[in-house]
Structure formats: structure tokens, C-alpha cells
Structure 1
Amino acid sequence: MTHHPANADRAAPRPFGRLLTAMVTPFTPDGSLDLDGAARLAAYLVDEQGNDALVVNGTTGESPTTTDGEKEHLVRTVVETVGDRAQVVAGVGTNDTRHTIELAGAAEKAGAHGLLVVTPYYSKPPQAGLIQHFTAVADATGLPVMLYDIPHRSGVPIATETLVRLAEHDRIVAVKDAKGDLIATSSVTSRTDLAYYSGEDALTLPALAIGGVGLVGTSTHLTGALTKQLIEAYDRGATAEALALHRRLLPLFTGIFRTQGTILVKAALTALGLPAGPVRPPLVDATADEIAQLRSDCAAAGLELP
């Protein structure tokens, strides 16, 4: 077991709560950043969907297409709106360690409560490079860090032994786990104090069963309240209730990813009259057929989409 110095972040078994949503970034019809919309959407996600924290500037937030300045404005706006009742975790990961550190510092100054740092993508660094990268970012601010392990996007998994090494860092406290390898996840949760958050909506319940603590979700723009019920049911030992909720929500847990998740979330939010706006290229907005399928997936999960 990897042990850590006692501090406030480590004292909490769930450093960012149970339920987080990787928030989309609302844009105006002409594609500009919609900060008023971001504030309204953040309040909806916290006050109506039950999120304990929000991730801004993640992949779902179209971070590859937003400028550094837009990212900072977005963090500041969301912190000012919901920071008194939810944590705000800023996505700062890039495939350039120096740029990632700059974004981390800007997020800290903007009031973020934590950082989400994805595996450097495209470059395919070796594990020694991942240790160096994540350690340098964690050293750069006073904020707790959630590592984002998503090899199908980054091209490189964070190996089990690498995660065990990184868990020794006082500020590396959590993992968003989108590797889909429950055996590897189980090994890390048994050997470290890292708080594991499922990065795949449909694997929330299996992840809880092997030591996970919650979810960083995408469909939770729509399913947040029910997903929170699922997690809380499991926590209190009501596993049959948790399983029933898992089965109910599965059509939307998976259906939101029939195309790129941001596209369908924005289509759903627009249908609900909530701030979203268009996506930025190279993404394209949902087609009529995709929206019709989304309505069917919502209905299968017992949720109505106008």
C-alpha cells in the first residue's frame, strides 16, 4: 500500500465528491464563447443535476478549440457561479509539458479547486516521460491533481506501476479512468490511495465494485440526478437498487456516445432550452437522424427529450 502524508485532500476519500460532469462549453450562434450561458449551465448541473464538482475545459468542453484566454475566463466564470457549493476542476492537459504548466497556473489564479491532466496525446511518450510530465505539473501549483487515463484518445495508457509511482506525490490524488481495464484498475485501487473516478459512464457501477468512488460523466448533463442516486445506493449497500438504476440508464450511458459525446450533449441541451450552442470545427452539429436516435435513447432511459 502506498501511504501519503496526511493533508486535507487525502483526508477525504472522495477529494472531488461522488459525481462530476465534464461540462460542455456553451457558444453563441456565431461560435463565440458564451460566458452567461456557461454560468447558467453550471448552475443547472450543480443545483438540478446534483453534481459535486464540474470539469471545465475537458475534451467534452472542446478544449482543443478554445484559446488559453477563453479557458481562463471559463474557469473564472464557473467558479464565481457555483464555486461556493461545488468544486471546479480545470482541464489543463496538453501534449506539451511547458504549456500544461502554464495552463495549470492560470487555472489556479482563476480560482480552480483542482486540475484534470490528461496523458499527453499524439506524442506517445514512454512511461518515464509520463512520470516526468505529471510530476512537473503537480509540482507547479498547490492544487490537487486528477490524472486522466484514456489510451484510446491519447495513444498511451498510464501503466499500473506508473500510477503506483505517481500516487506517491502528495498532490496527485485521483484518476479519471477511461482505460476500460477493470483488472488494472483493481490493482491500482488495492495498492494506492488514489481516488478512482470512472471515465466511462456505463462502467460507473462496475468501477464502484472494485474500489472506485464515483464518475466523471458526459451523459450526466441529463442523467446526473439519477446517476447520483445510483452511486449513493451502492454506497449504502442497496446493490439491487444500484443495479436497477444502472440498467435503466444504460441506453443513455452508451447512447450519448453514438457519435462524439459533445455533439449529442449539445443537441440534447438545446432541445431542453439550456445553453449549449453549436460545436466548433472540426466537430459538426448533430443531424436530424442523430437527434431522433438520441430521443429514443432518452426514452429508453425513462427521460423525455422534447
Structure 2
Amino acid sequence: MTPLAPRPFGRTLCAMITPFTAAGELDLDAARAHAAALVADGCDGLVLSGTTGESPTTGDAEKTALLRAVRGAVGDGVTLVAGVGSADTQHTVALAREAEDAGADGLLVVTPYYSRPPQAAVEAHFLRVAEASGIPLMLYDIPGRTGTRIEPETLLRLAEHPRVVAVKDCAYDLLGSTKVMARTSLAYYSGCEELNLPLYALGGAGYVSTVANVAPRQMRAPLDAFDAGRTAEAARLNGLTAHLTELMMASGLPGTVTAKALLAAGPVREPLQPAERGATDGLRKAYEELLAATR
């Protein structure tokens, strides 16, 4: 079995953390090493400077430096999608052009946040970014963070633009997603680990996963089994990841914090705070249980 949707950015993408030194500076050596390890362990694409990459607290020059460093580490055969979203259309356009110049294969563009623009303004924002560069866009629909949904009807219109090719779906609306997938060629990537397999079974292209920072092989395994026609095995493997996913993504701590706690990948930037010892111990236990169950 194979998904119905195209895969413009690959299938198994990691929403990569941004490592920092103990002093809080960008750690490019650690970023290179982490990116190479993720690719070696089953990720066919990386999303940089997204939510997990702490994009709100990294500067424009840091985003560009990170992209160039990771490109040098993984080569040209691995898809790199650069997060360029902001609350300011002009700033987003500038980030998009910088990312294209730095070697990005695609752009992750989130709905403008805080100002809560109406749908016509949301559509205009994405079209401005699509017209500003020559590389394709993955629209990031995450109303829980932005306060504004990309409504299905808006997505149907945006799909007509040749550079709007994908959606990172965190809207928790499988009916709406199914409707758009049925009527467009947009590639749907799950942005919520608990929906990776369900969305894939409905015709999704794959996922963009925070948990893949620590368990790339385990997150990929259910999709591999599904593609091979072993649907019961896919469900079993997906179930094995549920406890770690819950602790990393639904325990009250941001995924950035939990991923860095497991990886010991340096600090997070304020206003985020590191995980406390009790939370880290629980994460470590769930992670070791997953490794033991999938050896």
C-alpha cells in the first residue's frame, strides 16, 4: 500500500531541535552531528527553525547559519525545509528569500499569529510568500498556537498556486484534511505524532515529527509496515510509540524542552525553561522502554 498523495519533501521528516552551547550560543557543530545522525537513522528530510527549532528566539542570521551548516553536513540529497514564519508578512518574505539563497528546498510558513487575520488576509499572506521565492511552500496549520485556522476552503484556493504544495497539519480535523486531500494535490504531513499513521492511511504524505529527534527509526517503522501492507503490524508499532509521544508532546512541557532533555543537547532559550529532574527521569524511562521493545 502506498499513500495517494505526492511526497514533495520526502516522507519521514524530523522537526529538528536547534542545539545551543552552555553559554546559549548557536552550536553548529552539534547541529551538524545531530542532522547527520537523524538522516543515518531513517529521516529523509529535516525541518529547521520551526517550533521545535525555537524559531521565536533565534535571530535571522542564526537561522541562515544553521541552514548552511546542516546543508553542509547532510549534502544535497536530503530535503531541508526552512521555517520562515512570523507574524509580519514583510519579515516572512525576507526570511523566505534568505532561506532560498542559503540552500533550502522548501519553506515552512505558519499562519500569522497574534493579530488573528481573517481568511482573506491569511490567503494573501501565503500568496505573497509564494510569489517572493522560487521554492515550494509547506503551509503550517496549527491554530492551537497561532489562534487562526487555515480553513479548508482557503486551502482549496491556495492549492491552485504552483508553489503551494504541502500542509503540515496540526489542526486536529481529519474530516477537513480528507476533504482537501480529495480535491487537491496538496501533500499532507502530520504534525502531531498521534495522527501520523491515521493521516497516512487516509492518503497523507508522511510526517514532520518532534519525537523523531530521539526515536527516528521507531517513528518511521509504522509507515514502513503500512507501505508493505502489514497494517496490523503498523498499528502495533505505532502503539509502542504512544507513551513516549504522550510524555514528550502532551505532558505540559513543549516538545523542544522534552527533546533536549532526552538528548542533553544544551539549554533552551527563555522564556522556555529546562525540564525538571522528575520529568526527565520519566522521559528517560519511557524512552528506554521504547528502545527495548523495538530492538
TM-score by length of structure 2 reads 0.95
**Other-structure match for 2:263:** 269
Separation in structure 1 between the aligned mates of residue 112 and residue 56 of structure 2, nearest angstrom: 13
Q: Which of residues 36, 46, 70 in structure 1 aligns to 2:39? A: 46
Paired residues in the alignment total 287
Separation in structure 2 between the aligned mates of residue 28 and residue 139 of structure 1, nearest angstrom: 37
1:150-299 correspondence to structure 2 within 5 Å:
150-257=142-249, 258=251, 259-270=253-264, 276-299=265-288
Given that 2:261 and 2:280 are in contact with CA atoms closer than 8 Å, whether structure 1 keeps it comes out as yes
Deviations 1:135-160 (A, max 9, x none): 00011111110000000000011000
**Other-structure match for 1:85:** 77
Given that 2:193 and 2:211 are in contact with CA atoms closer than 8 Å, whether structure 1 keeps it comes out as yes
Given that 1:248 and 1:300 are in contact with CA atoms closer than 8 Å, whether structure 2 keeps it comes out as no
Quick one: which amino acid aligns to residue 8 of structure 2? P
Given that 1:201 and 1:254 are in contact with CA atoms closer than 8 Å, whether structure 2 keeps it comes out as no
Say whether 1:25 aligns with 2:12: no
Separation in structure 1 between the aligned mates of residue 43 and residue 147 of structure 2, nearest angstrom: 30
Separation in structure 1 between the aligned mates of residue 148 and residue 289 of structure 2, nearest angstrom: 35
Given that 1:248 and 1:302 are in contact with CA atoms closer than 8 Å, whether structure 2 keeps it comes out as no
Deviations 1:212-240 (A, max 9, x none): 11010001112211222211211222101
Given that 1:149 and 1:179 are in contact with CA atoms closer than 8 Å, whether structure 2 keeps it comes out as yes
Separation in structure 2 between the aligned mates of residue 95 and residue 303 of structure 1, nearest angstrom: 43
Given that 1:251 and 1:300 are in contact with CA atoms closer than 8 Å, whether structure 2 keeps it comes out as no
Shift in Å, 1:300: 4.0
Separation in structure 2 between the aligned mates of residue 79 and residue 253 of structure 1, nearest angstrom: 28
Q: Which of residues 140, 162, 187 in structure 2 aligns to 1:148? A: 140
Structure 1 stretches of 4+ moved >6 Å = none
Deviations 1:51-76 (A, max 9, x none): 11100010100010011110110111
The SS at the match of 1:282 is coil
Moved more, 218-227 or 106-115: 218-227
Separation in structure 1 between the aligned mates of residue 76 and residue 201 of structure 2, nearest angstrom: 31
Deviations 1:84-140 (A, max 9, x none): 331110000001000000000000010111100011111100000011000000111
Separation in structure 2 between the aligned mates of residue 124 and residue 235 of structure 1, nearest angstrom: 39
Quick one: which amino acid aligns to residue 291 of structure 1? T
Given that 2:211 and 2:219 are in contact with CA atoms closer than 8 Å, whether structure 1 keeps it comes out as no
1:100-119 correspondence to structure 2 within 5 Å:
100-119=92-111
Quick one: which amino acid aligns to residue 89 of structure 1? V
The SS at the match of 2:256 is helix
Moved more, 35-44 or 80-89: 80-89
Quick one: which amino acid aligns to residue 269 of structure 1? L
Unaligned regions of 5+ residues in structure 1, if any?
1-11, 271-275
Quick one: which amino acid aligns to residue 22 of structure 2? P
Quick one: which amino acid aligns to residue 231 of structure 1? L
Quick one: which amino acid aligns to residue 89 of structure 2? T
Deviations 1:169-194 (A, max 9, x none): 10110000001111111111111100
Report percent identity of matched pairs: 52
TM-score by length of structure 1 reads 0.91
Separation in structure 2 between the aligned mates of residue 266 and residue 164 of structure 1, nearest angstrom: 37
Separation in structure 1 between the aligned mates of residue 17 and residue 274 of structure 2, nearest angstrom: 13
The SS at the match of 1:301 is helix
Unaligned regions of 5+ residues in structure 2, if any?
none
